[in-house]
Amino acid sequence: MATVFSSNRDLPFLHTGHGASLEELGSSLDHFSVAFFSDPPVASWVLSELLNSGLRVSSVVTLAPKTTRHSFPQDLKRLADGKGVPLFNPDTLHSAEFQQAFKKTKPSVIAAMSFLRKVPPEILQMAPLGGINWHPALLPRYRGSFPYFWIILNQDKETGVTIHEMTNEFDAGDIHYVQKIPVDSQETAGTLTLKCASVGIQLLLQTLRELAAGKSLPRAPQDPSLATYGLIPDASVLEINWDEKAMNILALIRAGSPFLGAMTIFRNLILRIWSARLSRPNDEGAKPGTLIVSRGRADVATQDYFITLETVQLELLRFYSGQEFLQIAGLVDGEILGRP
């Protein structure tokens, strides 16, 4: 059950300072429609649920690359075409041609989920009810485009999804609904993405149905002094420091999987480690980063434990299990991972 921040039903109906109130909309609610803004990796999944929800979708907007090995946005186009919904894939939201065409779709509200660009105010003004965004974290913590990584890296036990008003500042608008989600001890960025999307889809649909029914949304302002940021990490954050404790290193590996990849240096090449598990205590005091080859597996020493490599990738080569890597690379006891 979603947490509601306010029960005040006299609040303006998604009033953003440029939109219309419930009273001003009047009978236009009979023609309620949603403009859906989204990018990978969950756009097609969410659009499918939205199209099957009974709500009318006036358009779909994505800034995904037009040519990609993941056949995106062709999947979105197929779904949109199947329901006769126009799909916009502009190079920029500031394009006059796009804005003119989008305005003609006359959306009641803009709903964004995993959309990685700021929606300009002139576009928000085209929807009488403004815009709402789904964010995969408990705002105001982890504002930004990639909270999953930091939630797992920081070993948080709980996260959630937030439905909030879209404003001129990323992820800073008033909060409408929050639903908390437990973070499992073996969670990866990939599994957390799916978990948040599954919960977030239902929370977004619930919010849109309330708007379609003419209800005012509860709202609570964010405290900017509590804001933290979850942006895409740079390479220095992804590089493993073998002097760290094993649990911190395993958290980094899980945080980087399957999108970014925690990395180390092996024979002057980049080795990405996609999965690993805790092994035995480093009672012999092996130097952190030392490889120990034993019983067909590759263990690496950390400050306090060894970890066993499960899935790795050397430079641009294919993925290898730890055992395959041991055989193909000819690993020997005593080699050191990491920079000299």
Question: For residue range 21-30, what is the model confidence (pLDDT) as tens digits?
Answer: 444 444 444 6
Question: For residue range 278-329, what is the model confidence (pLDDT) as tens digits?
Answer: 999 999 999 999 999 988 899 999 999 999 999 999 987 888 898 898 888 8
**Is residue 162's pLDDT more than 90?**
yes
User: What's the burial of 170, exposed, middle or buried (CB within 10 Å: 0-12/13-18/19+)?
Assistant: middle
Reported as type and span, the H/E element at residue 45 is helix 43-51
Structure tokens at 274: 């996609």
Q: Checking phi first, is residue 271 left (phi over 0); if not, alpha (psi -120 to 50) or beta?
A: beta
Distance (Å, whole) CA 190 – CA 202: 19
Average pLDDT score over the chain:
88
Closest CA to 242 of 208, 212, 271, 200: 271
Question: For residue range 163-218, what is the model confidence (pLDDT) as tens digits?
Answer: 999 999 999 999 999 999 999 999 999 999 999 999 999 999 999 999 999 999 99
The model's pTM is: 0.87
* CB burial string 54-92: b at 16+ within 10 A, e below: ebbbbbbbbbbeeeeeeebbebbbebbeeeebbbbbeee
CATH of domain 3-226: 3.40.50.170
Question: For residue range 36-63, what is the model confidence (pLDDT) as tens digits?
Answer: 999 877 888 999 999 999 899 999 999 8
Residue ranges per structural domain of the chain: 3-226, 235-329
Q: Are 57 and 50 in contact (CB under 8 A)?
A: yes
For residue 284, CA distances in Å to 291, 306, 307, 332 come to 13, 11, 14, 18
Distance (Å, whole) CA 81 – CA 86: 7
Domain 235-329 architecture: Roll (3.10)
**Is residue 71's pLDDT more than 80?**
no
Distance (Å, whole) CA 50 – CA 224: 32
pLDDT at 22: 40
